[in-house]
Amino acid sequence: MSASRVINAPSYTDEELALQTRFYVSVRRASGRVVDMVWFRQNKEYARAMLDFADNIVDREARDASRCLRQHLS
């Protein structure tokens, strides 16, 4: 990997990565759906759609993860 790609890579705090991971895992476990987290970070419409999807899952952990991530992003 070239140095310019590493330098220009977005950086995330530990908290952001933990919230994103919690969201990914809970949605995957509850629905079987895989969330493309790279696209999630790059495309606000996709992120909003995935958060809306998770809000409608019966699983409480998925809804909580969605709510926490949505609050952190706003």
pLDDT of residue 4: 52
Cα separation of 55 and 65, whole Å? 9
- Tokens at 21, concatenated: 């991971």
Which residues fall within 8 angstroms of residue 5, CB to CB, at 6 or more apart? none
pLDDT of residue 61: 95
Q: Give the DSSP letter of residue 63.
A: H
Amino acid, single-letter form, for residue 25: V
pLDDT, tens digit (0-9, with 9 covering 90-100), for 3-62: 555 556 667 888 999 999 999 999 999 999 999 999 999 999 999 999 999 999 999 999
pLDDT of residue 13: 87
